[in-house]
Amino acid sequence: MKMSEYLIPIKIEKLEDGGYLATSDTLQGLVAQGRSIAETMEIAQDVARKLVESCIEHGDPLPYEIKSSKKVIQDVKIPISVAA
């Protein structure tokens, strides 16, 4: 089985009652919630994988904004918490 990698933009928001919520304007249906940013990202990856696999399995087109990764290194921002 050939494996492909895609880059999918997500937004992560801090929830008022604790935890984080990830959504995507690009991939409809991607909603993930976790206790930490890392956990939320991991859950979002699983949800995104299932959504993309479903599109492929049913012959539905992927949103044109979803880019196939060509092993390109990108500039990314990571949040860190520092006790002050």
Q: Is 11 left (phi over 0), alpha (psi -120 to 50) or beta?
A: beta
Reply yes or no on whether the pLDDT at 81 is more than 90: no
**CATH fold label, 6-68:** Double Stranded RNA Binding Domain (3.30.160)
Q: For residue range 32-42, what is the model confidence (pLDDT) as tens digits?
A: 999 999 999 99
Q: 55: how many CB neighbours lie within 10 A of its CB?
A: 15
Reply yes or no on whether the pLDDT at 72 is more than 60: no
Tokens 């990571």, residue? 78
Please provide the size of the chain in residues: 84
Which residue, 27, 18, 70, 63, is CA-closest to 45? 27
**Higher pLDDT, residue 42 or 82:** 42
Q: What is the mean pLDDT of residues 40-65?
A: 89
